[in-house]
Amino acid sequence: MTGLTVTDLRVVYPGRPPVVAVDGVSIEVAPGEVVGLVGESGCGKSTLARAVCGLVAPAEGSVEFDGEPVTPLGLRRRSPGLTRVQMVFQDPYSSLHPRRRVGAQIADGTRAAARLSGADRPAPAEWLERVGLDPGAARRYPHEFSGGQRQRIAIARALAAEPGLLVGDEPISSLDASTQATVAGLMRELTVAAGAGLLFISHDLSVVRLVADRMVVMYRGRIVESGPTAQVWNGPRHPYTQALLGAVPLPDGLGTLPAAPPDDVEYPLEPVLHQ
Amino acid sequence: MTEARRTIAGTTVLEIADLRILGPGGREILRGIDLHLVAGRIQGLAGESGSGKTMTALASLGLLPTTLRASGSIRLLGDELLGMRARQWNQVRGRRIAMVFQDPSTSLHPMLSIGAQLTDHARIHLRIGRAEARDRAAGLLARVRVPDPEGALRRYPHQFSGGQRQRIAIACALMCEPEVLIADEPTTALDVTVQAGVLRLLRGLADELGLAVLLVTHDLGVMSAVADDVAVMRAGRVEESGERHQVFTAPRSDYTRALLAALPGSAEGVETLDDVRALVAQEQGKLA
């Protein structure tokens, strides 16, 4: 089995009572496939992303990448195979090291890839060019760039490690609206071109609609609807998905107030799976 | 709740003319802003981060950092606000012009009950007693659809959800029956389903109370849903300003057009993956 396979994953945070953040989720991301994961705050989508990268330990179930279990990140260097799962975080202000040159940070990714196979790698400058930045920027520091540019650098660093799976946890939510679609599109193009899978997590449904092949909707730690993006977007069948899509305000200039579901409504947890 | 001081819908309430702000070292932050806030209408202020949206809002409340110098004119029903002393501002801020901030978990005081936060400024501004203030607060909480308004007055911010907190912050802003409500990214911290409720509330307040609302947001979807008039800012200037439908469907400025073209779901915007590819290619092209 190649790509990512998550089976019946449960993640529990300790507390009184314990918080079940992810409650029996199964999801697959094949190489070259873009899966969009949507849901509101607290639905468990970030926890799922962190479990996929080994940043939190599952309570039950398994996370496997290319048939190898993803072990929780410890103090020691993880097995080289797992550097093939890379992550792009939400906030490019805290995910880049402020005191290291951008080129050096991208070279970290390149080095991770070189440990797997010794072939020649593109230089950091070339990666910068691929994400649409000036190749001369390699000598500069993160503070010299705007938010959108930094996120491009974070994407370049992740892709330089030649991942088999790229996980983006809200990678566009801290960017200006006008650059969101471009950065999301760039992520898709570069990941698919490299033959890697992309798990794209976002609360912005209109962008997910554009870049994802498959769309997965999470609610209260579970997947409530999943299927090809066009099908889910055009014909949502789960009441929660319907409420979520109905609440998105569209910039069409018509002054249509989005539908507001009542505050205390509880949706069924039975999933709807499109073919 | 008393029905005092309602501005007649259609009156210009706040008039910002040629507002300029200079930063340290003569850096121009605002380069001449003109805006009219009209009773009963929502004026949207859009633009990217750093374009000066928030500075415009803060200047209208006399909350600019002291290192900045403002010139031009901000008139509230004829009274000039720029250059007023701190004591004079105290008669305006929170009373005639109120503000709702982005994040309700930081704009409400965590250690004070909702009742205390809603009534404090109203008792000072309006010189009303504790009981009257609490009645008014309960009435407003009901108006913004917070469940069990009487009980809510005795509770604390952490006992409410994010959406309810923002509703409470809005009720707090309305306590002194302001003529102008400034909302700076009021739904940015909220989930989309909760956002929908808050947007409906803002629209209702403008329509029913005749409030003049300045809605600062970078989200053009939000803008399209509730704003009557839209101004698009860029680098300290108003790039385009007009009635909502016109700005969204027939933008006059190239900048607005580019902004809309980059958005999924807008009239001329990206609709398919190929559009996104074109957008990415166009950006790469700019570099080459």
How close, in Å, is residue A83 to chain B by CA atoms? Answer: 27
Tell whether A129 is within 8 A of chain B (Cβ).
yes
Are A251 and B197 an interchain contact pair (Cβ–Cβ within 8 Å)?
A: no
How near does any CA of chain B get to the CA of A36, in Å? 14
**How confident is the prediction along chain B (288 residues), in pLDDT tens digits per residue?**
444 456 677 899 999 999 999 988 888 999 999 999 999 999 999 998 889 999 999 999 999 988 999 999 999 999 999 999 999 999 999 999 999 998 888 889 999 999 999 999 999 999 999 999 999 999 999 999 899 999 999 999 999 988 899 999 999 999 999 999 999 999 988 889 889 999 999 999 999 999 999 999 989 999 999 999 999 999 999 999 999 999 999 999 999 998 898 888 777 778 788 888 887 777 777 655
For residues B174 and B147, is the Cβ–Cβ distance under 8 A?
A: no
With contact defined as beta carbons under 8 Å apart, do B56 and B45 qualify? yes
The mean pLDDT value for A84-97 works out to 91
Output the pLDDT for position A158. 94
Predicted confidence at residue B286, as pLDDT, reads 65
Asked if residue B212 lies in contact with residue B37, where contact means CB atoms within 8 angstroms, the answer is: yes
Instruction: Name the residue in chain B with its Cα closest to that of A230.
Output: B272
pLDDT in tens, A163-177: 999 999 999 988 888
Is residue A143 within 8 Å of residue A101, measured between CB atoms?
no
Distance from C-alpha of A37 to C-alpha of A34, rounded to nearest angstrom: 10
Mean of per-residue pLDDT scores for chain B: 90
Of B229, B253, B254, give the one whose Cα is nearest residue B44: B229
> Nearest CA to CA, how far is A181 from chain B (Å)?
7
Structure tokens at B210: 């005749």
Print burial letters for B7-40: b (CB count within 10 Å at least 16), e (below 16): beeeeebbbbeebbbbeeeeeebbeebebbbbbb
pLDDT reported for residue A212: 96
A268 pLDDT higher than 60: yes
B2-5: list long-range contacts, CB under 8 Å, 24+ apart.
B2/B136, B2/B177, B4/B177, B5/B177, B5/B179
Partner-chain residue, chosen from B163, B225, B277, that has the shortest CB–CB distance to A258? B225
Q: Where are the domains of chain A?
A: 4-273
Distance from C-alpha of B88 to C-alpha of B91, rounded to nearest angstrom: 5
Q: Rounded to an integer, what distance in angstroms lies between the CA atom of residue B131 and that of residue B137?
A: 10
Among candidates A179, A175, A197, A180, which has minimal Cα distance to A188? A197
Structure tokens at B5: 């001081």
Contacts of B219 in chain A (CB under 8 A): 177, 249
Pairs across A and B, CB distance < 8 A = 153
For B81-125, the three-class secondary structure string (H helix, E strand, C coil) is CCCCCHHHHHHHECCCEEEECCCHHHHCCCCCCHHHHHHHHHHHH
B237 to chain A, minimum CA–CA distance in Å?
Answer: 18
**pLDDT of res. A5:** 96
Write out the H or E segment, with its range, that includes residue A197.
strand A197-201
A161: pLDDT strictly greater than 70: yes
Q: What is the mean pLDDT of residues A252-258?
A: 90
pLDDT in tens, B175-199: 999 999 999 999 988 889 889 999 9
Instruction: Dihedral sign for Cα A199, A204, A205, A211, please.
Output: negative
Q: Which tokens in the block code for residue A227?
A: 């299927």
DSSP designation for A84: G
CA-derived radius of gyration, chain A = 19
Going edge to edge, which strands form the sheet with B28-38?
B28-38, B12-22, B69-76, B79-80
3-state helix, strand, coil in chain B (%, to 5): 45, 25, 35
Cα B61 to its chain centre, rounded Å, is 11
Percent of chain A with pLDDT over 90: 68
For chain B, residues classed under CATH 3.40.50.300 are: 12-250
Cα separations in angstroms, A48 against A174, A264, A274, B57, B80: 20, 25, 21, 39, 54
pLDDT over 70, % of chain B? 96
Task: Give the tokens for residue A106.
Answer: 């991208």
pLDDT category of residue A112 using cuts at 50, 70 and 90: confident
Closest CA to B100 of B165, B51, B161, B156: B165
* Type of residue found at A153: I
CB contact under 8 A, B265 and A206: yes
Which residues neighbour B68 within 8 Å (Cβ) at sequence distance 6 or greater?
B21, B22, B23, B24, B29, B55
CATH class of B12-250: alpha beta
Q: Report the C-alpha gap between B217 and B102 in whole angstroms.
A: 10
Q: Are A102 and A138 in contact (CB under 8 A)?
A: yes
pLDDT the model gives residue B141: 95
Q: Which of B191, B265, B280 sits opposite A182 (nearest CB)?
A: B280
Across chain B, the runs of DSSP E, i.e. the strands, are 12-22, 28-38, 42-47, 69-76, 79-80, 97-100, 180-184, 212-216, 229-234, 237-243
Estimate the crossing angle of helix A177-193 against helix B273-287, to 10 degrees.
Answer: 100
Residues B8-41: pLDDT tens digits? 778 999 999 999 999 888 889 999 999 999 999 9
Pick the residue from chain B with its C-alpha nearest to A257.
B225
CATH top class, domain A4-273? alpha beta
Contact (CB<8Å) A176/B218: yes
Whether the predicted pLDDT of A118 surpasses 90: no
Reading the block at residue A184, the tokens are: 């999301």
> Chain-wide mean pLDDT for chain A?
91
Tell me if A240 sits within 8 A of A219, measured CB to CB: yes
Tell me the ipTM for this assembly: 0.82
- Interchain CB contact of A189 with B (< 8 Å): yes
B265 vs A251: CB contact, 8 Å cut-off? Answer: yes
Distance CA B166, CA B164 (A): 5
